[in-house]
Amino acid sequence: MSAAPVIAAVDGSEGSLRALDWALDAARRRAAPLRVVHVRQYTVWAADVPAAGPPRPEGDPVLDGARARLAGRSGAPVVEYAALEGVPGAVLPALGADAQLLVLGSRGRGGFAGLLLGSNGLAAARDAECPVVVVPPPGRTVHGEGPAEPGPRVVVGLHADSPDEAVLAFAFAEAARRGARVQAIAAYPWPVQTWSVPGQTVPPPVDRGPVENETRALAEGFLAPHRARHPEVRADAEALAGDAAGHLVAASRDADLVVVGRHRRRLLAPARMMGSVTQAVLLHAASPVAVVPPAPPEE
């Protein structure tokens, strides 16, 4: 049985061509075929238009440009090209059902120049059944300190109170493919908010040291099984006070990849949701961002 493909969504924009380059490299690392897809927007809107349709018989200039971009690349995997008809925001997430990875640019040809993340990228990251990698434009500026040491690095956000094993597994596997280390960031809220009612004394302030130590200990425990599966991967756990999104964005500088998760569906919130941290990282990170869907619940 052949491996599931890595899918690159292209629309002719420079952003999608950068995503195509990233997808080609990802397919090589996975020994997987590369599928290059162009979703052509319907020109006539109707309520009964299906989400996707077969390609038109005539040629596709966008796919021709993608072929020219990949022409002569050494060590290229098997590459196939497909033009689909439909609404990109609906078609792209559906492609994830048959892919191991979906890659696209942060903003396509149809996006407004001021938008940092196009609606198609947002829909794919939120709804696709496979991990989605969004490749940002070059030169995006982030604030904060740079990495403590040089070298390939995969950053992963870790919720110390409810870690997602699928997110950690993806980060370690990607680091192993790249010969990179894992930088796991576990943020904890600080300062701790204390509440009181009139007439009651406010409890003494919480000592930051024990909170940080406990967060780091929890993170180390969650990383342990993944270190055992990938002994070749060095993983460093960092417990940082404050905003998780801000720390992940700062860590994205010179990183190979930032890996974040998506919210699990809940009984009272059955729709797919990304969460504010994931959305902020997609909007501002300087490196490509992988959004990993949650692992299916155990029976």
CATH code matching the domain that covers 6-122+130-135, chosen among 3.10.20.30, 3.40.50.620, 3.30.300.30, 3.90.76.10: 3.40.50.620
pLDDT value at 75 more than 90: no
User: How many residues are given for the chain?
Assistant: 299
Instruction: Kindly state the helix (H) or strand (E) to which residue 276 belongs, with its residue range.
Output: helix 276-284
**Of residues 159, 158, 104, 163, the one with CA closest to residue 295:** 163
Whether domain 153-195+207-292 has CATH 3.30.1280.10? no
User: What's residue 45's pLDDT?
Assistant: 45
| Residue closest to 34 by CA, chosen among 52, 10, 15, 57 | 10
Q: Do domains 6-122+130-135 and 153-195+207-292 have the same CATH topology?
A: yes
Instruction: Band the pLDDT of 89: cuts 50, 70, 90.
Output: confident
- Tokens for 223, please give them: 């990383």
Mention every residue, 6+ apart, whose C-beta is less than 8 A from residue 92: 9, 37, 39, 102, 104, 120, 123, 124, 128
The domains of the chain are located at 6-122+130-135, 153-195+207-292
Q: What mean pLDDT value characterizes the chain?
A: 83
Residue 269 has a pLDDT of 42
* 160-200 confidence digits (pLDDT tens): 877 789 999 999 999 999 999 999 999 988 665 555 556 56
185 closest CA partner among 152, 150, 151, 212: 212
CA separation for the pair 190, 142 (Å, rounded): 22
pLDDT tens readout for residues 220-256: 999 999 999 999 999 999 999 988 999 999 999 999 9
